[in-house]
A and B are shown apart, each in its own frame.
Chain A
């Protein structure tokens, strides 16, 4: 079955760090022409794009997280990773990972999300 399963969310204090993982099955996160992304959704709010990693390993970030978050993938574990540092309350959200479609800048498979709460 083709699916994505996120993990690693939880409660963290402001200024803290957290690492999210997204385990893929049914396809390879490192496959040719594959790109993966993280999108977040604060409680009661809309979707916000966070970061994307291209097939060649190149990465890009939303301005709101640039310099604090790092996206990567572990091909051996078929997993997408988001390392989050210097967290603020504004980073509290459900974090979804998603798989890019065959074309560009759309996502045809989403995980169920993992909740990150930044609070003292």
Chain B
């Protein structure tokens, strides 16, 4: 199972919106609505931001939204704030009782 493809970096200015993509195949992202996104600050624990493509856990700001089209999932962060600067990882059920993560995207707030 290959890792999902994410851009290594993304950036935006405070108040802007930024979208991070997560590309897989029809065997993972495209085949199931089990895409999740995690935020991780350096040296810290991953935090669930989005699950099942577009659902937000309690406590996650509605500035964070998720979507999927075909084999590509996306995380959009609107109204960028300084503390959004972190690494973001997508994951997807990959069939055959496997989970696959993306390589991660470092989001920089300019």
Task: Give the number of A-B contacts (CB < 8 Å).
Answer: 66
Complex CA distance for A48 and B47, rounded to whole angstroms = 15
Does B69 interact with chain A (Cβ within 8 Å)? no
Does A46 interact with chain B (Cβ within 8 Å)? yes
Size range of the interface on B? 20 to 34
Chain B's nearest CB lies how many Å from the CB of A103?
Answer: 6
Does B10 interact with chain A (Cβ within 8 Å)? no
Beta-carbon contacts under 8 Å, B52-108 to A: 52, 57, 89, 91-93, 97-104
The 21 listed contacts between A and B (C-beta, < 8 Å) are A47-B38, A47-B89, A49-B91, A49-B100, A52-B97, A60-B97, A63-B1, A96-B45, A101-B48, A101-B57, A103-B51, A103-B52, A105-B32, A105-B91, A105-B93, A106-B51, A106-B52, A110-B45, A110-B46, A112-B45, A113-B45
